[in-house]
Amino acid sequence: MLNTGLRLSEAIGLQWRDLDLISGRLFVRQGKGAKDRTLWVGETDLEALRRWRSRQVHAVGHVAEHVFTTLAGSPVSGRYVQQMVRRYAVKAGIEKRVHPHLLRHTFATDLYRDTGRIRLVQKALGHSDLSTTMIYTHVYDEEVETAMRNLRCCNSSPLSSS
C-alpha cells in the first residue's frame, strides 16, 4: 500500500490475475467510484510478492484467488490489516498513530515530492477530481515553508543566500 497507493479495500480485494509478476503491472479493478486504473510495482516488492505466492500455494495447498490471504486461503479482513499496520509501526518505533490510509497519503506525498506533477499523483490515486488530490500539495508546501524558514533562521543575513 505504501509503494502503490492502494486503498485498503483495493489491497484486500487484489487478485493474482490482476498482477503481472514479471512486468510489475498491477490492474486495479473497480476502485472507488467503480474506476479501473493501472499501477506499477517495483522490483523489490515484486520479489517479495513472488516469494509470498510460493509460500501461499504451499500453505493453502492451491493457488489462491486473492493476493493477500490468511494461511487458510481466505482473503484477509480490513480490520486485520489495520491491526497489522499499527503493530508494525509500533515495532518500528513510530509513535504517531499509523493506519492504512496514512500509507496511501505518504505514497502520494512522496510521488508529488519526487515528480512535482499533481496530475500524475491524481492518476495514480484514481481521483476523478483534482481538488481531492490537491491536499497532498499542501503537505509539500508546508514542508517547503518549514525548510525555508529554518534556512533563514540559521543564516547570518536573510539576503546571504537568496
At 85, which CATH number?
Answer: 1.10.443.10
Res. 20 pLDDT band, cuts 50 70 90: very high
- Looking at the DSSP bridge assignments, the partners of residue 75 are 69
Has residue 1 been placed in a domain? Answer: no
Distances (CA, A) of 143 to 18, 54, 110, 125, 129: 36, 42, 12, 21, 24
Has residue 147 been placed in a domain? Answer: yes
Instruction: List the one residue out of 119, 120, 116, 79 whose CA is nearest residue 100.
Output: 79
Has residue 33 been placed in a domain? Answer: yes
Has residue 160 been placed in a domain? Answer: no
pLDDT of residue 53: 95
Q: Which domain holds residue 115?
A: 8-154
Has residue 110 been placed in a domain? Answer: yes
Has residue 161 been placed in a domain? Answer: no
pLDDT single digits (tens) 88-123: 999 999 999 999 999 999 999 999 988 988 999 999
Half-sphere exposure of 155 (CA within 13 A, CB side): 12
Burial tier of 121 (Cβ tally within 10 Å: 0-12, 13-18, 19+): buried
Residues forming the active site = 7, 32, 101, 104, 127, 136
pTM of the predicted structure, to 2 decimals: 0.80
Count of structural domains within the chain: 1
